[in-house]
Structure 1
Amino acid sequence: MDIELPESIRAHLPVLVVLLPLFGGLLAMFTGLVQRGGGVIAWAWSVLITGLMLVCSAAMLQLVHASPEPLVYRLGSWPEAYGIGYSVDALNAYVILVVSIIAFLTTVYAKDSVMAEVANDRHHLFYSVWLLAIAGLIGITVTGDTFNIYVLLEISSLTVYTLVALGGDRDRRALVAALKYLILGSIGATFILLGIGYLLMLTGTLNMGDMHDQLVRMREAGTLANNRTVFVSFAFLMVGLSLKMALFPLHLWLPNAYTYAPSAVSALVAATATKVGVYMTFRFVFTIYGGVYDTSADLQLLALCACLGIVVSSVAAVRQMNVKKVLAYSSVGQIAYIVLGFSLANHTGVTASVIHIFNHAIIKGGMFMAVGAVALRTGGTKIEDFKGIGRQMPVTMAAFTVGGCGLIGVPLTSGFISKWYLVQAAMEEGYWGVAAVVLLGGVLAIVYVWRLIEIIWFGTPDDPNKRVKEAPLSMLVPMWILIGASVYFGIDATWTADSARAAASLLLNGGHG
């Protein structure tokens, strides 16, 4: 369905998707003046803002697909080398839409969860920080210059740390998790800033496209050969980005952050934050360094980390006694699948990575929503809280079960599509060991997912007389939209596959169309 917007709005879509949650977040603070803590008013305002952002994102994707050239938006009159420029092409329009869908649905879902898990006098603060975090994530994806990426990365990071820490009202371990996330996230951001600084020193520009052009000219002039600065910049960036996207073994901040954060925050961050980290890696690896020098050895190292991450995180998930932590370790493995795809550096592999950004977002977002609904009704997310819960919350647990099938990669789910492309990509390169690791990851997923399903549907509650109500409709609807989408795009993957192929062609062509 085409989205018709006035020309005066369409011309400013790249900046509107950032300004809406940015100013929406700042204004959300003032809902505390109308109602103590903001409460429902702050929630309704956030739903409105994220809904408008979703409409703008969908309209922008239409414009990108209708034009052979990316949408470019210049802020101010600064020279291109130093000014802030937004550029939207097939890749980031796709990622922006994914983030916008998750942001809107998790905001709708958040009302009852936040009321139960966050102190009443902090609701306006929660939704303000929530919208600012979304603004940072969208801004990272839409911007075309490296320093603005760093600034927006800090906005998103600082706000996510705060959102995780707000879980301290329910469990004090959230504060420790937020501090750990803060320390490791700051280290990662420092590495990224140093990498950007070395690139600026080498090229004299902050614009990503211009950086690439300068590096290509240096290579053609013969001045780039054995230039240590470009190698050091790449190394700093890869370490920093690996921390941000939680690639094994730099994933240690993720399990506790996802586990002890408020349930709505776990759903939002699990479905978006690490995906934006992967997007940043795409941009630096392909848009700036693509065609500049041979990165195959570096990508092979990333592939090794990804293979280890798939196996180690899946084994760790089997051993966990908290369902949120099971899903958290599963997320480490799913990020490894995405990294493994683009590390193969062929068209099918990059396509698999881009597809899995969407597929994992909808699956894991829906599953964390289901766990949050159980937390609302039972007060916990430990294994014992889920014993026999399927008989009392059948609609919620059916969503969780279908999502688990997607994690395994059962046919007719979107997770199967991702793994099918990934196995194909490995076999095209003759990497039979990599294909075996992907299949082994699916087998291990069967172990930890079936363990949960068995407890949910066939377990005996510790207190058989305890009555648990089904989740409220405001939580069930967004949950089932995501889980339903994971089934729909497992049956008909035309849109995701076509969008992913277009993005893969763009990236492998240097990220410049």
Structure 2
Amino acid sequence: MIEQLTILLVVIPLVLAPITALFKSHKIVWSVTLFVSVSCLILSSIILIDVIDGKHVIYELGGWRPPWGIEYKIDSLNAFIALIVSAIACVATIFALQSVPREISKTNFGYFYASFQLCLLGLLGIALTGDIFNLFVFLEISSLSSYALISMGRSRKALTAAFSYLVLGTIGATFFLIGVGFLYAASGSLNIADIAARFSEFEDMQLVMTGFIFIILGLGLKAAIFPMHSWLPNAYSHAPSVVSIFLSATATKVSLYALLRVLFDLYPLAYWQAFLLPQILLVLGCVAVIYGSYRAWQQIELKRLLAFSSVAQVGYIVIGISLLNNDGLTAAVMHLFNHAIIKATLFMGAGIILFRANTTMLSELRGFGGSMPWTFAAICLAGLSLIGVPGTVGFVTKWYLLSSAVSEGKWIVVAAIVIGSVLAIAYVWKIVEAMYFNSKRKMVIQNVRSGDIRVAKAPMSLSIALWIGAIACLYFGLYTEIPYQSAQSIAEALLNTPAIGGSGL
């Protein structure tokens, strides 16, 4: 029964997306999207519960056994990723009820929600598939729908950002496909497990090394790993609010998941260690943490500040991967979950500010926090999580990264985390200062009938979605057992070693 549930995660959005595009009524298309998101969340929860103890669920499409047929192979890692994607999709859909009519043209409602469902389909497909070419197909489905979602913003800058993302995303996808082609030429197979099992037969071929380089570069660009991050700030800052929420919490995380699969399931650990890849990733991750945090501090617009913050947060995940020990990898997997919650919450806060004030320029939001105390409180809570204050989800990740780095004697990591955290304090304080401590002045609100700020009050659905994220930032920071145990079992499976140190906080 569980085997059939895995394919439903892809079939439900695949079937309903084209149907959604036929309707123009916002209530209808929103209701269908909510059904898709909730269904995927329920299914991914059931699957995760079934595989969390180390079990594998395998579904062979069309009854064709691998390596000839396409295989969906579910373990604790991809079930965990599917749960993250589905949960964020549900929250984003709740937020979309009132946000989308304000930011998307009426004629595009059906196309927007259809693209949203296709993006969800692509991200879930990446998580589920055990076939590397099929992974490319789903990667492109999610990417193409992302370009469309970003371009539907009413700002002309949204179209420019979508085009820039399209160009760089196409380069990344091309690199990945070339790498897959080289690997297929060497192995004669596209099934990840089959290639890994026979890797010793062709590992000395030049095609394999070349393919590896292309695959890593392609996924690095898709995941916005420094210095291949230039598409991210514009894409996140100029996209409609719902798109910023969904993509910031899922797109790079799923690409990093694909990178984990390539590094730990496809290629042997010793193979890419010989290329000094862990050392390269360690340096890039440390630079990303400092650079991304510094650039975030420089910004004068809220969504762009949050976008550059994502560059730094990807850096933390890359550092965890590069440490190659249980605590480091546990921290990396946990941060896939933790950062998804944090960044979705912050972009929802930015979306509510945009809804009420029609601007996210910090200079135009002076004193605005006093007019929206609950929204401001949620933003502050998520901001504290970015900093890594004890009791929030961000602290958990930094704790395990620091303990892992200290045990390995990687003092460059300790320095990068400390500097990144100090800079995070600076840019989060910049938001607080602009919205609360600066002198109160009359807000300039556009597209409303009166200058009274109450005219632009945020609807309940936006606040509900925001506080789901804010409460999660606090709850999973205080009660870490569920995400920690999931991440630890995933780290053990990837490294194929028993747990070394570390315990739930």
Normalising by structure 2, we get a TM-score of 0.94
Match of 2:18 among 21, 26, 29: 26
1:246 shift after superposition? 0.3
Residue in 2 aligned with 1:70?
A: 56
Residue in 2 aligned with 1:193?
A: 177
Counterpart of 2:243 in 1: which secondary structure? helix
Residue in 2 aligned with 1:409?
A: 388
Residue in 2 aligned with 1:152?
A: 138
Contact kept, 8 Å, 1:412 with 1:487, in 2: the verdict is yes
Residue in 2 aligned with 1:126?
A: 112
Match of 2:290 among 311, 314, 327: 311
Match of 1:327 among 278, 302, 306: 306
1:428 shift after superposition? 1.6
Q: Within 5 Å, which residues of 2 pair with 1:452-467?
A: 452-463=431-442, 466-467=452-453
Report the Cα distance in structure 2 between the residues aligned to 1:203 and 1:146, rounded to whole angstroms.
12
Report the Cα distance in structure 1 between the residues aligned to 2:317 and 2:79, rounded to whole angstroms.
18
Total equivalences in the alignment:
488
Q: Within 5 Å, which residues of 2 pair with 1:388-407?
A: 388-407=367-386
Contact kept, 8 Å, 1:392 with 1:470, in 2: the verdict is no
Contact kept, 8 Å, 1:394 with 1:470, in 2: the verdict is no
Report the Cα distance in structure 2 between the residues aligned to 1:150 and 1:356, rounded to whole angstroms.
24
Describe the superposition over 1:434-457 as per-residue Cα deviations: whole angstroms up to 9, x where unpaired: 111011111100000001111111
1:482 partnered with 2:466:
no
Contact kept, 8 Å, 1:215 with 1:292, in 2: the verdict is no
1:290 shift after superposition? 2.5
1:15 partnered with 2:2:
no
Residue in 2 aligned with 1:3?
A: none
Match of 2:350 among 358, 365, 371: 371
Report the Cα distance in structure 1 between the residues aligned to 2:226 and 2:243, rounded to whole angstroms.
22
Q: Within 5 Å, which residues of 2 pair with 1:51-130?
A: 51-65=38-52, 68-130=54-116
Report the Cα distance in structure 2 between the residues aligned to 1:460 and 1:286, rounded to whole angstroms.
53
Report the Cα distance in structure 1 between the residues aligned to 2:177 and 2:65, rounded to whole angstroms.
21
1:122 shift after superposition? 0.8
| AA at the equivalent of 1:100 | S
Report the Cα distance in structure 2 between the residues aligned to 1:165 and 1:262, rounded to whole angstroms.
9
Contact kept, 8 Å, 1:387 with 1:455, in 2: the verdict is yes
1:470 shift after superposition? 4.1
Q: Within 5 Å, which residues of 2 pair with 1:246-265?
A: 246-265=224-243
Report the Cα distance in structure 2 between the residues aligned to 1:398 and 1:152, rounded to whole angstroms.
38
| AA at the equivalent of 2:261 | R
Normalising by structure 1, we get a TM-score of 0.93
Report the Cα distance in structure 2 between the residues aligned to 1:157 and 1:374, rounded to whole angstroms.
28
Report the Cα distance in structure 2 between the residues aligned to 1:484 and 1:498, rounded to whole angstroms.
20
| AA at the equivalent of 2:465 | P
Contact kept, 8 Å, 1:317 with 1:329, in 2: the verdict is yes
Residue in 1 aligned with 2:162?
A: 178
| AA at the equivalent of 2:135 | I
Identity of paired residues, percent?
Answer: 40
Report the Cα distance in structure 2 between the residues aligned to 1:204 and 1:107, rounded to whole angstroms.
42
Describe the superposition over 1:192-240 as per-residue Cα deviations: whole angstroms up to 9, x where unpaired: 0011111111111100011101103x2xxxx634x32222111111111
| AA at the equivalent of 2:197 | D
1:386 shift after superposition? 2.4
1:303 shift after superposition? 1.4
Q: Within 5 Å, which residues of 2 pair with 1:424-439?
A: 424-439=403-418
Contact kept, 8 Å, 2:140 with 2:173, in 1: the verdict is yes
Match of 1:240 among 203, 209, 218: 218
Describe the superposition over 1:97-148 as per-residue Cα deviations: whole angstroms up to 9, x where unpaired: 0111001110111111110000011111110111011000000000000000
1:471 shift after superposition? 2.1
Q: Within 5 Å, which residues of 2 pair with 1:206-225?
A: 206-216=190-200, 218=201, 224-225=203-204
Match of 2:363 among 376, 384, 388: 384
Residue in 1 aligned with 2:502?
A: none
Contact kept, 8 Å, 1:350 with 1:504, in 2: the verdict is yes
Residue in 1 aligned with 2:336?
A: 357
Contact kept, 8 Å, 1:384 with 1:461, in 2: the verdict is no
Report the Cα distance in structure 2 between the residues aligned to 1:458 and 1:82, rounded to whole angstroms.
63
Report the Cα distance in structure 1 between the residues aligned to 2:466 and 2:428, rounded to whole angstroms.
18
1:294 shift after superposition? 4.3
Aligned-residue CA RMSD (Å): 1.4
Report the Cα distance in structure 1 between the residues aligned to 2:337 and 2:3, rounded to whole angstroms.
26
- Which shows bigger deviation, 402-411 or 376-385? 376-385
Contact kept, 8 Å, 2:3 with 2:58, in 1: the verdict is no
Contact kept, 8 Å, 2:330 with 2:490, in 1: the verdict is yes
Counterpart of 1:293 in 2: which secondary structure? helix
Gaps of 5+ in 1: 1-6
Report the Cα distance in structure 2 between the residues aligned to 1:291 and 1:411, rounded to whole angstroms.
34
Counterpart of 1:72 in 2: which secondary structure? strand
Match of 2:458 among 471, 494, 498: 471
1:270 shift after superposition? 0.1
| AA at the equivalent of 2:144 | L
Counterpart of 2:226 in 1: which secondary structure? coil
